[in-house]
Structure formats: structure tokens, C-alpha cells
């Protein structure tokens, strides 16, 4: 009886991209499990998925030959030169909230320069909202699935938005004098409109904003 939601997003092969979480988990209105977020049948072994753990680090999973997200071992070196091996949590119990975003590095089986990834979850007609922690950087994304893009609304003075661009870098915008303005030698005084496409994520530094409705 659950309505399955699917949103197709075109991505470059073997390139990390910020992806939004547009749906909720199956059977309830909560967060979606990492293992359910991405359709893996079009992806090759070695594709990677990075999810922030809320402590300044990332959980990292790699796709195995059976289309399952596995936890690679991580070797950490402390300030005394000693090494320790740690594992990322299994993808099954880890969840991500609708309106957040994660990094996806796809390797497509077609070996073409780009391909299509399907984001999955339980479909809902309710508008999505990104919950934002003030005073820190947040990974959030556009949850809308039926538009050409959504504009980032007016923020608080000093807030920043970092949007991935086509060259693999980030375009940074700051809310100054009641307007978004792009950082750069020639852009700082120009009023900017920030449009986030469906299924795309970005960084948001909050100085007072607590949520964005999509």
C-alpha cells in the first residue's frame, strides 16, 4: 500500500555530486534508510556514497558486485603515528532526513561520460522542508520533484550558500544588505537569484534561518 517515489537525476560519471533526499522512509513519515535512497542496478561496483554524521565527519559506503552498500575499512593515523582501523556503520540502520543531502560518486555500468540515477523512497504529496541548525554549515537539498527549480529564499544577514558548479567547484553566495550576492571580484555588488534544481543539494551556513520550505 505504499506509494514509491522516484526522481531521476542526471550525473557525471565518477564525479562526486551533492544529491538531495526528496522522500521519506517506507511505511512511515520518518527518515529514509541509506540502503533505500538510490537505485543501484544502473551503478557499477565501486560507486561511493558519503553521508555526514553530524560530528564533522562522513560515513562512507562503497557499492559491491551484488549492488549492496558495504562499509570500507578506514585507517586513521593519530598524532603519535599510531594507526587504527575503523569501519563505517552498516548502511541498513543509518537514515537520512528528507530535505538533507549527501554526496554520491556514481560509476555507471555503461561507462559513458554521464548517466541517470534514480532517488527512491516513499512518495508523498506533502511539501518538503529542510531543517537547518543555526550557527553551522548544513547539507540540505531541494525536495520538490515537479518543478524546474526552486529559489533559495531571503535569509539572515551574513548567511552563506555554496552551490556545486559544472567545473566541480562551489559558487558561494552571501546574504548582504537584504539580498543574495555572489562572491567574486565583479559579483559582490550584484543581486543574485539562487535556483536549486530538483534532487540537488548544497551547503547552507545559517545565522538565524531554521528551515527552508520547498
* Tens-digit pLDDT profile for residues 81-95: 666 666 777 787 889
pLDDT at 109: 94
pLDDT at 10: 94
pLDDT at 73: 66
Q: Which candidate, 187, 155, 200, places its Cα nearest to that of 18? A: 200
Residue 55's region, left for phi above 0, alpha for psi from -120 to 50, else beta, is: alpha
In this prediction the pTM is: 0.87
Q: What is the mean pLDDT of residues 19-36?
A: 88
pLDDT at 117: 96
* Tens-digit pLDDT profile for residues 134-164: 999 999 999 998 888 999 999 999 999 999 9
Query: Residue 86: is it exposed, middle or buried by C-beta count within 10 angstroms (0-12/13-18/19+)?
Result: exposed
Question: Is 143:5 a contact under the CB 8 Å cutoff?
Answer: no
Task: Give the integer Cα–Cα distance in Å for 77 and 162.
Answer: 30
Amino acid at each position: 500500500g505504499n506509494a514509491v517515489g522516484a526522481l531521476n537525476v542526471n550525473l557525471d560519471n565518477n564525479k562526486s555530486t551533492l544529491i538531495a533526499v526528496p522522500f521519506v522512509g517506507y511505511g512511515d513519515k520518518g527518515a529514509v534508510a541509506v540502503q533505500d535512497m538510490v537505485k543501484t542496478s544502473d551503478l557499477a561496483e565501486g560507486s561511493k556514497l558519503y553521508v555526514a554524521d553530524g560530528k564533522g565527519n562522513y560515513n562512507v559506503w562503497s557499492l559491491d558486485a551484488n549492488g549492496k552498500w558495504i562499509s570500507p575499512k578506514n585507517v586513521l593515523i593519530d598524532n603519535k603515528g599510531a594507526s587504527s582501523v575503523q569501519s563505517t556503520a552498516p548502511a541498513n540502520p543509518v537514515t537520512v532526513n528528507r530535505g538533507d543531502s549527501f554526496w554520491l560518486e556514481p560509476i555507471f555500468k555503461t561507462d559513458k561520460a554521464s548517466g541517470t540515477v534514480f532517488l527512491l523512497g516513499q512518495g508523498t504529496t506533502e511539501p518538503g522542508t529542510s531543517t537547518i541548525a543555526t550557527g553551522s554549515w548544513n547539507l540540505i537539498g531541494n525536495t520538490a520533484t515537479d518543478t524546474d527549480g526552486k529559489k533559495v529564499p531571503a535569509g539572515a544577514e551574513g548567511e552563506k550558500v555554496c552551490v556545486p558548479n559544472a567545473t566541480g567547484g562551489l559558487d558561494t553566495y552571501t546574504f548582504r544588505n537584504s539580498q543574495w550576492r555572489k562572491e567574486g571580484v565583479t559579483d559582490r555588488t550584484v543581486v543574485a537569484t539562487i535556483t536549486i534544481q530538483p534532487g540537488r543539494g548544497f551547503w547552507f551556513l545559517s545565522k538565524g534561518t531554521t528551515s527552508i520550505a520547498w
